Amino acid sequence: MAPLQPSAPLPPRHPVVVVGGGQSGLSAAACLQRRGIRPLVLEQHQVGHAWERQRWDSFCLVTPNWQCRLPDFPYDGKDPEGFMVRDDIVAYVRRFAAAIAADVREGVSVQRLCWRDGTYTLTTNAGEIEVEHVIVATGGYHKPKRHPQAERLPSSVVQLDARDYRNPDQLPAGPVLVVGSGQSGCQIAEDLFLAGRRVHLSVGSAPRSPRRYRGKDVVDWLDRMGYYAMPIDQHPEPRLVRHKTNHYLTGRDGGRDIDLRRHARNGMVLHGRLLGFADGQIHFSSDLAANLDQADAVYCRIRDSIDAYIQREGIEAPEEAPYQPCWHPPAAGADSVALHQEPLAAVIWCTGYAADFRWIDLPVFNGAGYPAHDRGVTHSPGLYFIGLPWLQTWGSARFSGVADDAEHLAETIRLRMQLTDALHERQECTALLGS
């Protein structure tokens, strides 16, 4: 697909620019426009690009449609308890863009943000623009990670990152190794397995969640219990939670648990964490049993917390039997796959993403290169972030919580602009009195 070209040059200056035209950037624009501030939104591709081009064909949300609550634009379909598939998500985001009618410039990539001569300067492929307030809405998942020894795999083995996987037919015939058991890894492994492919899955420490429990979707229970609105400073592990892997489950076929033990019983080959490649073999850690037990422990703790809430609130809800594992891995020991015996067709890397903010030439990052902020507001006046995991709550990077963060930033900018205007008026009055 050829890169989208900007349709027109940018104005030389603008009071507020939003970098990124996904749901976070559009939400920020909507909340600013509500306050009479019309920002310029710069989108490198097209609105909805990441959902459309970086998700596989059977992809769907893992949270119910009713939780899609963009500013003044809640889910408007006929299946609030269902889970939108990829193309419906794209359509929803684009309808939102049309509804707010923001000034979105597609095909504009930002190469540098710096401070120059008392103002922010954005360097783009459509020219430079001076800005007073910049909202960075590019998310935090930019560069896919792979195992350091990935290049040791034979050239005959196709290697894909999760964002480039589309469907089983895309891959050559033969077994497939999926590395990583977060949401993407488990869902892609399941997609391949349900299509009849022989699948190996390297299981890490990702937790899992029930889909439904005691008569409701678990997201419904957790939403009622306040988990999605909990501020990060009230979380028991505020420093770690932003970097934790999301629980795996699926919205596919109406929504269900993903129980890797059940898939293993039916023929999926599970391994522990990938260690490396040597002498024609792929080596895995002996931690598979521990990783499965840990995921199940989280699954059971979620159920226990719902039980406690139901009892505390006096809610009538059907009882459910305790979870019982249906499969256990063989005794711990060395685990490897010999490529001459099991010639892999492909490896799909579902090992996460790293943030890449090198284009921002400002001292607003911590030692790990991640933005330092207070609910998206940095210590560099006029620079903000939105759409990052746990910007303020668990819902911050989701359709459910981004509106609250957008409201906060929009109001912050309104007040700062109001203060700036007042200071300018005062200076003008002082100058007039002095003359």
pLDDT tens-digit series, residues 392-406? 898 898 999 999 999
How do residues 83-120 score in pLDDT, each as one tens digit?
A: 999 999 999 999 999 999 999 999 999 999 999 999 99
pLDDT category of residue 145 using cuts at 50, 70 and 90: very high
Cα 62 to Cα 107, 283, 343, 350, 434: the distances in Å are: 30, 32, 33, 17, 64
| Amino acid letter, residue 386 | I
The pTM score is: 0.94
Q: Which residues pair with 278 in a beta bridge?
A: 281
Angle 135-141-144 from CA coordinates, rounded to 5°: 150
Cα 196 to Cα 175, 180, 244: the distances in Å are: 10, 20, 31
pLDDT attached to residue 422: 86
> d(Cα 246, Cα 54) in Å, to the nearest integer?
18
Closest of 139, 113, 138 to residue 124, by C-alpha:
113
Q: Phi and psi of 365, rounded to 5°? A: -120, 150
Cα 94 to Cα 99, 309, 390, 399: the distances in Å are: 9, 38, 25, 14
Q: Phi and psi of 17, rounded to 5°? A: -125, 135
Chosen CATH of 145-349 out of 3.40.309.10, 3.40.50.300, 3.40.1190.10, 3.50.50.60 = 3.50.50.60
Window from 122-131, 218-227, 305-314, 327-336 with minimum mean pLDDT:
327-336
Q: What is the CATH number of domain 13-142+355-427?
A: 3.50.50.60
Burial grade of 105 (CB within 10 A; 0-12, 13-18, 19 or more): buried
Q: Is the pLDDT of residue 33 over 90?
A: yes
> d(Cα 65, Cα 174) in Å, to the nearest integer?
36
pLDDT attached to residue 434: 67
The segment(s) of the chain belonging to CATH 3.50.50.60 are: 13-142+355-427, 145-349
- Which run of H or of E encompasses 282? strand 281-284
